[in-house]
Amino acid sequence: MTAKPLITIIGSLNIDFVTVTARIPGPGETLTAKSLHVNAGGKGANQAVACGKASFISRDQQDVDVDMVGAVGENDPYYASLVKPSLEKSGVNCRLVREIGGSQTGTATILVEEGGENRILVVPGANHDAMQDAKLLQTLATTGQNRAPAVLVMQGEIPRQTLLDLLDLFGSGAGTGTSTQIILNPAPVYPEGIPIEALRHVDFLIVNETECAMLGREVSEHISGSGGDDLSDAQLESLSQDFHSKANVEHVIVTLGARGVFFHSRGANSGEMVHGLKVDNVVDTTAAGDTFVGYFATALARHVAQHERSSKGFDLRAALTRANAAAALCVQRATNVDSTNVDSTRPTNVDSTRPTNVDSTTATNIDSTTATNFETTPPDAPGNSWALSVPAPYILLVTITRAKQMNSIPFATHWALHKLWEWFDKEPTLRVAVLTGEGKKAFCAGQDLIELGERSAAAGLSNAADLALLATVKSIQGHPPSGFAGISRRTGKKPIIAAVNGFALGGGFEIVLNCDMVVASPTATFGLPEALRGIYAGAGGLPRLLRNTSLPIANEIALTGRFLSADEAMQLLLVNKVSKTPESVVDEAVALASKTAAISPDAIIVSRSAIREAWETGSVERAYQLKGLLAFKEKRKPNWKPSKL
């Protein structure tokens, strides 16, 4: 069995004391704050948690291993009761976290204002005391699972010399696209900076604008000062070229907050932008940077696992789009996950005499990467047959979690999914859904034939003709009015995008035929094999196949049972696009969904309704939303409100 790719994070673990206040007090001023929480944190731990959460492909299965290398104080009750459980719950291995006698766990005091801005004071503790020996840390990282990590992630909350030594020790393969891929997020930036010769080992340099400007002083004579001002497009372009030519960095990624993400790869003529996602309600920006790094690192690990530990061919834009969406999502919630109410009888581990070494533009706060904040409660999945997540603002990702059964669907799940889509249409925080299947083999292979066989045996049927008849009857009687998986005959209000990651056969293809948009993996296969078994596609797929293609093509597919490749489906206009790689199909579907979710919720519903009416009946409707027209007339960007339709 092939080992899963390994991400190793070498970095800090903290206890965060988070105070939420209307504003930061001035000198000599005392204010009454709104709340105080104790959270698990530290940039290393936060990024490890983001990697762990991004690695789950179902509720209890990860396709990437995540190791945390760090240090805490010995017998620290906060580590035992808060930090370690938070890491492990998020899928992070903690066996390489050392408990050090005579040292204290690092702490961070975080003041969070209304509007989400934060101020942070850090006491490094064991993050510095026990992180001096780079060779020991490298040994831990490479022997913890008896293999070198596919991806190594490091930040600036460990001693500077340790970081430089680690870059040198791991850097033998850096810059060649092989061996361990090194991601450096130098936050906070050391006052002394990072020398050019150390940066040459970095494959992916991830910085915000301030960090980019501060590091840029090492490679460019055109940057001066502290780097607090916004960088122009020309400066970003120039600095990236300097990082490539003078420091040998392969990829430069600059996060720009609400503006989005700028990225530039060695050899490219110019940089590119992933545009920012509009966030209506910014609650706390603390975890955004670490969430971004974690989701990006996980996408990279998945790629190198399939490409002999090489980053060649990595879809950088798709990975950055998803990481940016995850960061946008996490700023919409408060930093109170896995926190406890403060108890003054418990130790605080604060030593005000220790150095701070912190940059308030980057963030901590563990476990903020999968916020949902639904206003209503979604229905339960029978037998854990699906998993819900929110990969980007306003986007619901539904993953059928029956990979061992090729994501085939039992009868009870059809009705449960019918209720799920009804809930989705009513939930005001959601605008677009993406549906995919667990694993790499199948999107959905149709009805659960094992369950069908059990029903057949119970009915005393055994010959092929009787079984075929039962299959057809049960498929009709066993489905809700909205059809197979609650989709194949669904009208609904909001759009659903299919991210077809493998086989879409029988009912699985009927789902696809009634989805509003379709993104297919290059390995996707479509077909209606029912006729080969003496039955027919009775869940609404046949008329929709005719609508989407033509009479000759629909007959060929339905009457011969032949399968279509992703490229053939694209040529027949059955899918919108074929993803660049099998691994990027969900990311590209989410990116497509985000474009839709950025417009008026009412416009989405009304426009979709008009298109469907014309598609199903031939009637033509004109739909528009007054608010969008007014915004166009006034040359301003509309601020869309949740739909009341």
The residues carrying an active-site annotation are 290
Are the CB atoms for 364 and 392 separated by under 8 Å?
no
Query: 361: alpha, beta or left, given left = phi > 0 and alpha = psi -120 to 50?
Result: alpha
β partners of residue 153: 9, 183
Burial class (CB in 10 A: 0-12, 13-18, 19+), 224: exposed
| Residue 385 to residue 237: CA distance in whole angstroms | 47
The whole-angstrom separation of Cα 42 and Cα 107 is 8
d(C-alpha 212, C-alpha 240), whole Å: 9
Within a 10 A sphere around the Cβ of 443, how many other Cβ atoms?
Answer: 30
Question: Are the beta carbons of 122 and 356 closer than 8 angstroms?
Answer: yes
Q: Which two tokens stand for residue 596?
A: 């839709």
Q: Give CA separation, 479 vs 169, 409, 418, 484, 515, in Å.
A: 59, 11, 9, 6, 17
Q: Which of 604, 607, 593 has its CA nearest to residue 642?
A: 604
Q: Please give the structure tokens belonging to residue 502.
A: 């493998």
Classify 383 as helix, strand or coil. helix
Q: What is the DSSP letter of 295?
A: H
Residue 190 burial (C-beta neighbours within 10 Å; 0-12, 13-18, 19+) = middle
Identify the H or E element spanning 241.
helix 233-247
